[in-house]
Amino acid sequence: MTAPARIRGWCPSLFRPMESGDGWLARIRPERGRLPSALLRKVADAALRHGNGILEITNRGNLQVRGLRPESIAPFTTTMEEAGAAVGEGSRILISPLLGADPSLAPDLLALADEIDRALPESLSAKFGVLLDGGGALPLSGIVLDLVIRWTGADWAVNGKAVARDAIATHIRERATGLARVSERAGHPPKLGRHAGFLLLAPAFGQMRAEALLTLADLAETHGDGALRPTPWKSIALAGVAWDQAPTVLQAAEKRGFITDRNDGRLSLITCAGAPACARGEIATHDAASALAASRRAGDGLLHLSGCVKGCAHPGAAPVTLVGRAGQIDLVRHGKAADTPAFRGLSLAEIPATMQSLPA
CATH number at 42 reads 3.30.70.3340
Q: What is d(CA 306, CA 281) in angstroms, rounded to the nearest whole number?
A: 8
What span, in angstroms and rounded, lies between the C-alpha atoms of 346 and 343?
Answer: 7
Residue 331 lies in a domain: yes
Domain count, the chain: 2
Specify the pLDDT at position 182: 65
- Given a contact cutoff of 8 angstroms between Cβ atoms, the answer to whether 343 and 330 are in contact is yes
Residue 33 lies in a domain: yes
Q: How many residues does the chain have?
A: 360
Instruction: Please give the pLDDT value at position 194.
Output: 96
- Of the three residues 30, 63, 83, the one that is the final residue of a domain is 83
At 216, which helix (H) or strand (E)? helix 210-223
Closest CA to 335 of 320, 347, 324: 320
Q: Which of 185, 176, 178 is nearest to 149 (CA)?
A: 176
Residue 228 falls inside a structural domain: no
Q: Does residue 298 fall inside a structural domain?
A: yes
The pLDDT of residue 298: 82
248 found inside a domain: no
pLDDT at residue 2, as a whole number: 38
Partners of residue 26 on adjacent β-strands: 65
What's the pLDDT score for residue 181? 64
Convert 158-186 to b/e letters by CB count within 10 Å (16 or more is b): bbeeebeeeebbebbeeebeebeebeeee
List of residues 6+ apart from 95 with CB closer than 8 A: 32, 33, 109, 113, 132, 134
Residue 277 has φ and ψ, to the nearest 5°, of: -65, -35
Residue 326: alpha-carbon gap to chain centroid: 27
Per-residue pLDDT of the chain (360 residues; tens, 9 = 90+): 333 333 334 578 999 999 988 899 999 999 999 999 999 999 999 999 999 999 999 989 999 999 999 999 999 999 999 999 999 888 999 999 999 999 999 999 999 999 999 999 888 887 889 999 999 999 998 888 889 999 998 899 999 899 999 999 999 988 876 766 666 666 688 999 999 999 999 999 999 999 999 999 999 999 999 999 999 999 999 999 999 999 999 999 999 999 999 999 999 999 988 998 888 899 999 999 999 998 888 888 889 999 999 998 888 899 999 999 999 999 999 999 999 999 999 999 999 999 999 987
Closest Cα to residue 172, out of 117, 126, 111, 250? 117
Residue 180 counted as domain residue: no
SS3 209: strand
Indicate which CATH number applies to the domain containing 273.
3.30.413.10
Q: Distance (Å, rounded) from C-alpha 88 to C-alpha 315?
A: 26
pLDDT for 5 equals: 35
DSSP summary character for residue 5: B
Stated as kind and residue range, the H or E segment containing 255 is helix 246-255
The residues that bridge with 64 in the sheet, in sequence order, are 27, 56
Q: Could you report the per-residue pLDDT of 158-188, keeping only the tens digit for each?
A: 998 999 999 999 999 888 767 666 666 666 8
Q: What is the DSSP letter of 164?
A: -
Do residues 130 and 121 lie in contact, with contact meaning Cβ atoms separated by under 8 Å? no
Which of 83, 110, 125 is the C-terminal boundary of a domain? 83
pLDDT at 360: 74
Q: What is the pLDDT of residues 43-73, one digit of tens each?
A: 999 999 999 999 999 989 999 999 999 999 9
* pTM for this entry: 0.88
Q: Is 294 exposed, middle or buried (0-12, 13-18, 19+ CB in 10 A)?
A: exposed
Distance CA 262, CA 199 (A): 12
Q: Which domain holds residue 66?
A: 18-83
d(CA 285, CA 181): 32
Residue 104 lies in a domain: no
Give 214's DSSP letter.
H
**What one-letter code names the amino acid at 112?**
L
Query: 215-228, pLDDT tens digit by residue?
Result: 999 999 999 999 99
Cα 279 to Cα 18, 53, 266, 285, 299: the distances in Å are 12, 18, 24, 13, 32
In a domain? residue 198? no
